Amino acid sequence: MGTLIAKPACKSIVSLFSGCGGLDLGFSRAGFNVVWANEYDKEIWETYENNHPETWLDRRDIRTISSDEIPDCIGIIGGPPCQSWSEGGAQRGMNDDRGKLFLEYIRILKDKQPRFFLAENVSGLLHQKHRQALKNIIASFEEAGYTVSFKLLNTQSYNVPQDRKRVIFIGYHLDLDRRFNFDFLQPCTQILTLRDAIWDLQDSAIPALAKTKTNGSACSVP
């Protein structure tokens, strides 16, 4: 587990449903301090801690964590589990326990009252069958005290070598009297390919072990 390090509260943010820490990396590069993160999937813990050694990783089920145990922060980020909304799945939405985890995000947001939040989920959330659920989610964000904007974005338009569409929700606390404007985002003019991103690793690549097991520490990049 990472070491809990005291950092300036004015830049402190909390990460929920953190995965391997992709969102956290982006916010860290933007100058924020991810002081506390939560991820319940044990298969991801080692990856997250390697990527974010200075962040305190809480491994418990988010439903068992009281908001008082989470540090105060200026922002909350995270992507609640997407399987319930995915176009490649059954799309059970809020009828699935994983879909209900969106409510845990909102619970903590309502209790902590940071200045802003960012939540992301799959494009399937915009499917017609989830129209009412989407309205309820937005209403819950608003009832928690936030002005909400959302838009479907593709990461390939923002220097990520992956065709990955995600619904991005951004909310500002009502006290700020402002709304995030997605029109200010500047898509890149050239699509980044996987070759652009990792072709420099080709000379250090080594074959996987039997049954595609990793070579672990023998790899130049873990």
Phi, psi of 179 (to 5 degrees): -130, 140
What whole-number distance in Å separates Cα of residue 173 and Cα of residue 176? Answer: 6
Contact indicator for 91, 84 with CB cutoff of 8 Å: yes
Q: Which residue has the tokens 């960012």?
A: 118
User: Tokens at residue 184, please?
Assistant: 């200010």
- What interhelical angle do 131-143 and 101-112 show, nearest 10? 20
Continuous H helices in the chain: 22-29, 45-51, 101-112, 131-143, 194-198
What whole-number distance in Å separates Cα of residue 88 and Cα of residue 154? Answer: 17
Q: Annotated catalytic residue: which of 73, 82, 188, 219?
A: 82
Q: Which residue has the tokens 């813990």?
A: 45
What residues contact residue 130 under an 8 Å CB cut-off, 6+ apart?
85, 91, 93, 124
* Residue 20 is a catalytic residue: no
Contact indicator for 48, 39 with CB cutoff of 8 Å: yes
Residues classed as catalytic: 82
